[in-house]
Chain A
Amino acid sequence: MSNHAHLRKDSDVILRVEDLVVEFKVPGNKVVNAVSQVSFDVKEGETLAVVGESGCGKTTLGKALLQIQKPKSGTVRFSNNELTALSKKDLREARTSIQMIFQDPISSLDPRMTVRQIVEEPLWIWSKGDENERLEKVKSLLNNVGLDPELVLDRKSYEFSGGQCQRISIARSLALEPKMLICDEPVSALDVSIQAQILNLLNDMKERYGLTLIFISHDLSVVKAISTRIMVMYLGKVCEIGTTESIYSKPAHHYTAALISSVPVPDPTYKTERTPITGEPPSPVDPPSGCRFRTRCPAATELCATEEPMLREVSDGQFVACHYPRA
């Protein structure tokens, strides 16, 4: 069963994931299919947003890319390394070119360490430079993320606000000059007025360091500001993948359309056309047969229950896994 129609030529992609499966055991000897046969690729310099609601597997996917969560099967090819096949030692080394930023800015930083120690840590691990060189590097990183090194170096993380902690996290993640940054809901714990600052910072850092971003989020308005491509997930499956423009202007999957129309718009005169989607995502322990979205889908038929839809192209570069895509 191949579901690879949307994958692009090998030569220009930096990350290529094929048929990735991640499972968890849960109490009662059941297995959760957190990520189920997911394939996608990312080109160098792209920002791919992975979008979905809680339980769709987007966070697990992020961790599985880094092999922090071991996938059950499938391949993760980054640059020229097959990450799933690397030895522990090689994996340690390979991981340095993919770094991660997390949702909870405070729990991302060790409360006992000073900002200097936190940002220096990756350099310390890999014995990069002597102490002076490392300090200089830490200072320039802090400067780049908009923090004044003289003011912050010797303070501990709990003295900072969420937005500042997120800046420190970003500085740390850039210390090893990675090629790719996986951002797991990096702004959803922040105040609205701070979100913009961090989003802009990520965009700036992307340019300065030539990064490729994977941006995991549930918030479609945030995603619109930062992504170039979007992959929508539901219960561990890919529903739709395409450029940001195409996803927002003509969502082909009914779930994507529902997500977009559910976002509250800060304009009282704006009338959203309610997509008739009700209920909540079913438990990933026992997902529906066929198309996993069919239990909430307004267009579902018999076919959707019996046959799982494959990803197919609906317009240039836009792929959808649906038997009855929206026109």
Chain B
Amino acid sequence: MSSILKLENLKVRFATHRGQLEAVRGVDLEVEAGTSIGIVGESGSGKTVMSRAAMGLLTGSNVTREGRITFDGKVLSDMSRDEVRNEFGTGMAMIFQDPMTALNPVRRIGSQLQESLRVRLGMSRKEAKARSIELLTLVRIPEPARMLRKFPSQLSGGMRQRIMIAIAISCNPKLLFADEPTTALDVTVQAQILELLTDLRQELNMTMVLVTHDLGVVAGNTDYVAVMYAGEIVEQAPTTELFANMKMPYTEALFKSIPNINMKAGSRLPVIEGRLPDPTDRPPGCGFAPRCNYAQDKCFTDHPELEVAKDGHLYRCWFPLGDSIQRKVS
């Protein structure tokens, strides 16, 4: 299968008053066309920075980006900003956590929706209007013609997110980045939006990168999962394989610490003690070692590389779970 997005040794650094902050440090990732991949991590894990860098959206003067980004056969990392911008809409598109800030509050839905249709696809006013009604129907908005006349503030959070999705898919992008698309929404609405995204992906044959902190969201909506911790991918596998056979202690600890609706009521949750390492001062060994129940001396001194197991299961751990190595449980 062909890959649509390929990151090679992607690094992102921010210059801060406390020194260089390495938010993403050497990520290799290949996304196959037509699949969906979930990027999971806590805040500070670098998941959002990585996805923005991959889209070429981090352009501040305090940002340094290294590594090679290939999108749809084109080397994005060598292109100018204008050339990268040309890829937006038709090549890739993005939806954000907070649809209110992503929409212009003083313009009607219709004009925001039709803008890219007319500019990018060169449609006439009439064509653009017809197409935008089609798009709103696609994202399951009732009475689409009336919706065009409304302002973002007149809509609920779920409706706004549907509008954002309609705008994102308006130029038939090949790749959709969804950054915490349902975090700000109510549970019943979240379920609807996730269902919509999954359906649209299949109908339009889109590739999707779903960035989220929620393992539950990932489980039902992706083909692959990459778990990020302290700026690195620490585990990556097909979704069913990952959940069935976690190799990285961090993934397992995260999984066990989240409240699960299928657990026994009132049961006490295992917790991950400690916090993420300081991004300006990374420890030499494994970033998770100080919080890991299975850590051994080697983990504190040597940085593990990403290992490949069968079924394309990648992990970054000296002593992966499921191996028969004697563990020292602290």
Query: Do A and B share a direct contact in the complex (Cβ within 8 angstroms)?
Result: yes
Please give the residue numbers on chain A whose beta carbons come within 8 Å of chain B beta carbons, in ascending order.
Answer: 53-54, 161, 191-193, 195-197, 199-200, 203, 218-222, 224-228, 244-245, 248, 258-270, 272, 274, 277-278, 280-281
Specify which of B190, B215, B271 is in contact with A266 (CB 8 Å cutoff): B215
B265 within 8 A of A: yes
Smallest CB-CB separation from B156: which chain A residue?
A280
How far is it, in angstroms, between the C-alpha of A139 and the C-alpha of B184 when the chains are bound?
37
For residue B260, which residues in chain A have a CB less than 8 angstroms away from its CB?
221, 224, 265-266
Contact B220–A264 (Cβ < 8 Å): yes
Residues A224 and B189 in contact, CB atoms below 8 Å apart: no
**Are A221 and B271 within 8 A (Cβ)?**
no
3 A-B pairs with the lowest CB-CB distances in the bound complex, closest first: A264-B216, A196-B269, A53-B186
Contact: B187 with A218, CB < 8 Å? Answer: yes
B residues near A227, Cβ cutoff 8 Å:
265-266
Known: A161-B275, A221-B259, A221-B261. A226 touches B187 (CB 8 A): no
How many contacting A-B pairs (Cβ < 8 A)? 137
For the complex, what is the distance from the CA of A224 to the CA of B266, rounded to whole Å? Answer: 6
User: Nearest Cβ distance between residue A51 and chain B, in whole angstroms?
Assistant: 10
Per-residue CB proximity of B254-294 to A under 8 Å, as 1/0? 11011111110111111111010000000000000000000
- Interface contact B262-A258, CB-CB below 8 Å: no
Binding site for A on B (CB under 8 A): 42-43, 156-159, 186-192, 194-195, 213-220, 239-240, 243-244, 253-255, 257-263, 265-273, 275
- CB closest chain-B residue, reference A263: B261
Q: Are B259 and A195 in contact (CB under 8 A)?
A: yes
A223 to chain B, nearest CB (A): 8
Per the bound structure, the CA–CA distance linking A259 and B188 in Å amounts to: 6
Known: A193-B253, A268-B220, A280-B158. 7 other contacts (CB 8 A): A161-B275, A218-B186, A220-B187, A224-B265, A263-B216, A269-B244, A278-B192
Are the C-beta atoms of A193 and B262 separated by less than 8 Å? no
CB contact between A272 and one of B186, B220, B239, B263 (< 8 Å): that residue: B220
CA distance A185 to B215 in the complex (A): 20
> CB distance B194 to A264 under 8 Å?
yes
Q: Give the docked Cα–Cα distance between A200 and B268 (Å).
A: 7
Is B187 within 8 A of A193, CB to CB?
no
Are B269 and A225 neighbours in the complex by a CB distance under 8 Å?
Answer: yes
The residue of chain B having its C-beta at the shortest distance from the C-beta of A53 within the complex is B186
Cβ of B187 and Cβ of A266 under 8 Å apart?
no
Within the complex, which residue of B158, B215, B257 is in contact with A196, where a contact is CB–CB below 8 Å? B257
- Which residue of the partner chain B has the closest CB to A192? B258
| Separation of A278 and B186 alpha carbons in the complex (Å) | 12
Is the pair A270, B189 in contact by a Cβ cutoff of 8 Å? Answer: no
Interchain CA distance A261-B215 in the complex, whole Å: 16
Q: Is the CB of A199 within 8 A of B214?
A: no
Min CB gap B194→A, angstroms: 7
Q: A264 touching B265 by the CB < 8 A rule?
A: no
A199 to B266, alpha carbons, bound, how many Å? 10
Contacts of A200 in B (CB 8 A): 268-269, 271
The CA of A49 and the CA of B321, in the complex, are separated in Å by 36
Q: In the complex, which residues of chain B have a beta carbon less than 8 angstroms from the beta carbon of A244? A: 265-266
Q: Is the CB of B272 within 8 A of A199?
A: no
- CB-contact partner of A280 in B189, B220, B255, under 8 A: B189
**Interfacial chain A residues near B257, Cβ < 8 Å:** 192-193, 195-196
**Smallest CB–CB gap between A308 and chain B, Å?**
22
Inter-subunit contact B261/A192 (CB<8 Å):
no
- Please give, as numbers and ranges, the residues of chain A lying within 8 Å of B194 by CB-CB distance: 264
